[in-house]
Chain A
Amino acid sequence: MSVHKCSRRTAPLAGCAAALLLAVTACGSGGTGGGGDGALTVWVDATRMEAAKLYQASHPDVKMNIVSYDGNANGSNYLQTKVQLFNRTRKGWPDVVFSSQNNEATWAVDAGFAAPLDKGLIPQPTLAKFAKGANDVCTVDGTLYCLRNDLSQVVLWYNAPLLRKFGYSVPTTWEEYQALGEKVAKEHPGYLVGDAGDSFTPEIYLWASKCGANQITGPKSVSVNTTGEGCTKMARLLDVLVKNKSMSISGVFSTDFAKNEADKVLLMPGPAWFGGAVFRDGLKTPAKQIAAAPLPQWRGETSPSTGNVGGGTWLLSKHSDRTEEAADFLTWVTTDNAYQGTKAPGFPAYAPAAENWLKAQAAAGYFVGDLTPLKDASAQVWPGWGAGQFSQEAIWAATVKPGLTQGKTVESMLPAWQDAIVKYAEADGYQVTR
């Protein structure tokens, strides 16, 4: 009798508790804001927080919900993970989002997240003023799905006073660069002409050498050939300099690089954002030391070709119910001088803002000389390397970097690298030609 009573009483209790739990979990999963709560939800990384706050300050009438996340740094895939979940719960998508990855459009279009921007959202005259090729990574099947925040063309950064002190001149060809590395190893052991320890290494060096490891030939097709001449000659150069230790394999973002090698950098090929993010903020190199030169080219070539190492993108959600406000924010954050022209840490993708940014950098006086090589390099990105859905950086980090640490040569690992790219590309549904 009493048991019967109990079960009658507990059944609704259990039901209530279960309903409550479900309600709580439902709230938890969709609680990151997004369309419908009356505010423009913007997701940014720590660096872009300033941009969002600046917009809010100059547009007090726009109700904003600024959310800080990791910006998908280091291929964290946070955004992709969240979008997949929001797609399931059918709510929660941010209206505008910044990502430090260049290949977001490739999955965001498939996932039905990214809104087309060149079909009336952003006026054509504005789009026309982005640097040539800047928005290529945002274009899927001829439609534009994101706006580039900054360009990441590679230049040869160097420590001007140190180079002068050692009596060296800036190399203009890769052959000269290698010769200088061999000289540095002998005459000033411990000093560095570059770093091959980051996951960006293939994009800084092998892309610049026109290595055909990653040619996206269609929406779902890629050509992978890591053993062509462009790849092997740069691999051999890296091997020589890694072996004589004039090139580090620590990685500029590692703790040991910052501790042991920060003041040993004589030269360093690296993208535009290295200037602020690595030298000024990361390695704390004092002002009036770092200068930029054009990236070397192979002897016989007419101009350098560079890689496109990162550079963030801004996406607008297809699910946004505040499209106009979102488009206004997107336009402002990528083009307005108040942020891009003066405060942005990287080289703006929007050409008029880039002009202003170069002037602002000159006025700030951190770099030696002007940064014109950056402007020239922005038109020298080799188009034979694309932004696919699979992360080239992650593949290099997992397949080549450990071998490098164990003392294997890059050249010997080129076939293994190719094998890994092919497998990851195929797993993501790409047709691969070798």
Chain B
Amino acid sequence: MTRPRLPANASRLSTGASRQSRAGVAFVAGYVVLLIAFGVLPTGYAVYYAFTDAGGAFTGFGNFVDTARDFRFVDALGHVALYLVFWLVSLVVFVVALALLLHRLASGPLSRTLRFLYYIPGALAGAASVLVWLFMLDPTVSPVSSLLEVLGFDTFGEVIAPGNLALLFTVIAFWTGAGGWIVVMYGALNNIPRDVMEAARIDGASAWQTAWRVQIPMLRKWIVYMVILAFAGGAQLFVEPQLLSLASVGVAGRDYSLNQLTYDFAFQMNDVNGAAAVSVELLVVSVSVAGVFVARSGFFDAD
């Protein structure tokens, strides 16, 4: 009597486990297929192009050297670097600050309203939100034209002066991208155990001390995660300058960022191999930065 029971139980367990693992594989398979089709294969293709010429012959680092010698390359590199500094600093400072503020107002209807407001811009597609900003920045049609005029801007041309661009792209990117991160950080703050906060309060920590010594250290991994993704995204700056360039009839040059330059190499100068070389450089830089952050922050360490 006992004999049949055990195997029955065991087999039930094993069918359950195998069903589970099959479901797991099915779920992952979809992602893996997409990753291979739209991630791995194009990357491999780009690497192949970066090291060959138009005829398919191996060129070593020739494409990298040629593109780096282009008169626009150093400028574009500088623009992207400046933009990344503005963008990452503002993202870390303001997103964390706003999330903490939101968390302090946690109960009450104000928090829900704020969370919704923060999230709205992120719901707009990238190009659409840039278009919204093109209107915002044109004193003739902007709903905040009086603010622009106070700042000394009377025409669109003055607003988009070359010196302002890194700041403008930061503002646009922050507006479109930060809301989602605030919601993520808010969720992470909610995950901090209640008793830890309680203990801090009992120990007499002020709001500032709690934030600085308890909450921010416990958010560290999320902040690192945000910085890695924001760096990779920011290094690929393209939509904002490209649309601004079209809207300003070329005043905000077509080769402001590295990605715009790759676009120009590929389609304007018919140098797909050079374009691939620059995009491979962007990939290497982004992956290296991510590697450094992950290693330094103990990102994958179990708590």
Contacts and interface: CB of A to CB of B under 8 A. Distances in A.
B240 interface: no
Interface string B269-295: 110100000000000000000000000
A394 B248 CA distance: 11
Interface string B14-34: 100110011001100110111
A285 interface: no
Contacts of A398: 250-254
Contact of B267 (A21, A80, A402): A80
Contacts of B158: 405
A10 B251 contact: no
A405 B161 contact: yes
A111 B21 CA distance: 53
A254 B141 CA distance: 11
Nearest to A87: B270
A101 B254 CA distance: 17
A18 interface: yes
Interface string B241-263: 00000101111111000000000
B208 interface: no
Contact of A10 (B26, B70, B162): B26
A6 B26 CA distance: 9
Contacts of B141: 255
B157 A427 contact: no
Given A10-B25, A14-B33, A74 B249 contact: yes
A10 B26 CA distance: 8
B69 to A, nearest CB: 10
A255 B158 CA distance: 13
Interface in A1-59: 1-3, 6-7, 10, 13-14, 17-18, 21-22
Given A18-B36, A406-B161, A199 B249 contact: yes
Contacts of A426: 71
B32 A256 contact: no
A10 B21 CA distance: 13
B279 to A, nearest CB: 16
Interface string B174-215: 000000000000000000000000000000000000000000
A256 B155 contact: yes
B113 interface: no
A255 B140 contact: yes
A391 B249 CA distance: 12
A6 B157 contact: no
Interface string A357-392: 000000000000000000000000000000000010
A393 interface: yes
A110 B155 CA distance: 40
A398 B253 CA distance: 5
A81 interface: yes
B33 A21 contact: yes
Interface residues of B, number: 43
B155 A250 contact: yes
Contacts of A3: 18, 21, 25
A254 to B, nearest CB: 6
B140 A13 contact: no
Contacts of A14: 29, 32-33
B21 A2 contact: yes
Interface string A243-259: 00000011101111001
Nearest to B32: A14
B218 interface: no
A277 B37 CA distance: 47
A75 B157 CA distance: 18
Contacts of A427: 70-72, 269
B75 to A, nearest CB: 11
B2 interface: no
Contacts of B30: 17
B45 to A, nearest CB: 12
B139 interface: yes
A254 B156 contact: yes
Interface in A206-245: none
B107 interface: no
Nearest to B253: A398
Given A2-B18, A17-B33, A427-B71, A80 B249 contact: no
B250 A18 contact: no
A331 interface: no
Nearest to A78: B267
A254 B270 contact: no
Contacts of B268: 77, 80
Given A110-B270, A427-B71, A393 B157 contact: no
B270 A13 contact: no
Interface in A64-113: 74-77, 80-81, 84, 107, 110-111
Contacts of B37: 18, 21-22
A220 to B, nearest CB: 13
A395 to B, nearest CB: 8
A3 B25 CA distance: 9
A186 B22 CA distance: 85
Contacts of B267: 77, 80-81, 84
A197 interface: yes
A405 B252 CA distance: 13
B71 A423 contact: yes
Nearest to B23: A6
Nearest to A17: B33
A1 B157 CA distance: 68
Given A10-B26, A77-B268, A256-B138, 14 more contacts: A13-B29, A18-B36, A22-B37, A74-B250, A84-B270, A197-B157, A251-B157, A255-B140, A393-B249, A401-B251, A402-B251, A405-B158, A427-B70, A428-B269
Interface of B: 14, 17-18, 21-22, 25-26, 29-30, 32-34, 36-38, 70-72, 138-141, 154-158, 161-162, 246, 248-254, 266-270, 272
Interface of A: 1-3, 6-7, 10, 13-14, 17-18, 21-22, 74-77, 80-81, 84, 107, 110-111, 197-199, 249-251, 253-256, 259-260, 391, 393-394, 396-398, 401-402, 405-406, 423, 426-428
Name the 5 nearest CB pairs between A and B, nearest first. Answer: A397-B250, A2-B18, A398-B253, A81-B267, A255-B140
14 contacts: A2-B22, A17-B30, A74-B249, A84-B267, A111-B270, A199-B249, A255-B141, A256-B155, A259-B140, A394-B253, A401-B157, A401-B251, A402-B157, A427-B71
